Amino acid sequence: MAMPALMFELETPVEERVARLEANVEHIRSDISDIKIDVRRLGDKIDTVDRNLTTKIDAVDRNLTAKIDTADQKLTAKIDSVDQKLTDKIDTADQKLTAKIDGLDQKLTTKIDAIDLKLTDKIDAADQRLSGRIDGLKDSVMSLALTMEKSFAALKIGRALDRVWWLLMSGALLGVMARAFKWI
């Protein structure tokens, strides 16, 4: 059985295909130039945002530094005033007690010797208790100072790390964009 021959369709000539490609290339070129303009605009926007953020970060840094300095001055003034008040009270109490002790010493020398032994034991016990409390207070103050120092150091390190992270992210984004547009 014979089959009829198939009729093949003729392909469009090469010249027509090249002409269509050239028309498409012009559209692609205009699109690429539009994309380049958009990329430049984005670059300018990124620079503006960087400047704004840097300015804001610097302002926050100055504000925090000023607040910390003010708090430090206030606390130092309060501690000095409390120290002065307590010193005055101790001096006044010392003068009063010295006068009373001198008066009693002249009148009751024999009784004081007997009481002196008892009071010496009580004073030593109180001294030991107060020495323990004072040492504990010293340790607490030193621990507080160390904690505050570490907190300030962590704040400065955290700011630096935030800036580095932001720069890395921006660089990576620009690198991806450059590679996507085949600039590099």
Element (H, E) at 4: none
Positive or negative: CA dihedral 172, 173, 179, 180: positive
State how far the Cα of 181 lies from the Cα of 169, in Å rounded to an integer: 18
State how far the Cα of 139 lies from the Cα of 145, in Å rounded to an integer: 10
Report yes or no on 54 lying in a domain.
Answer: yes
Q: What is the pLDDT of residue 7?
A: 55
Report yes or no on 161 lying in a domain.
Answer: no
Number of folded domains that form the chain: 1
Element (H, E) at 172: helix 109-180
Q: At residue 140, what is the residue type?
A: S
Q: Which of 155, 161, 170 is nearest to 64 (CA)?
A: 155
Report yes or no on 49 lying in a domain.
Answer: yes
Q: What is the pLDDT of residue 172?
A: 94
State how far the Cα of 41 lies from the Cα of 84, in Å rounded to an integer: 64
Per-residue tens of pLDDT for the chain, all 184 residues = 566 555 555 566 778 878 788 878 888 888 889 999 999 999 999 999 999 999 999 999 999 999 999 998 999 999 999 999 999 999 999 999 998 878 767 876 777 677 778 888 888 888 888 888 888 888 888 888 888 888 777 667 777 788 889 999 999 999 999 999 988 7
Report yes or no on 29 lying in a domain.
Answer: yes
Look up residue 3 and give its DSSP letter.
-
Report yes or no on 165 lying in a domain.
Answer: no
DSSP, collapsed to helix, strand or coil, labels residue 81 as helix
Report yes or no on 56 lying in a domain.
Answer: yes
Report yes or no on 99 lying in a domain.
Answer: no
- Domain holding 54, by residue range, is 20-63
Residues contacting residue 42 through CB under 8 Å, at least 6 positions apart: 177
Q: Which of 179, 181, 175 is nearest to 32 (CA)?
A: 181
State how far the Cα of 172 lies from the Cα of 82, in Å rounded to an integer: 56
Report yes or no on 32 lying in a domain.
Answer: yes
Q: How many residues are there in the chain?
A: 184
Q: Which of 52, 53, 46 is nearest to 173 (CA)?
A: 46
How far is the first Cα of the chain from the last one, in angstroms, to the nearest whole number? Answer: 64
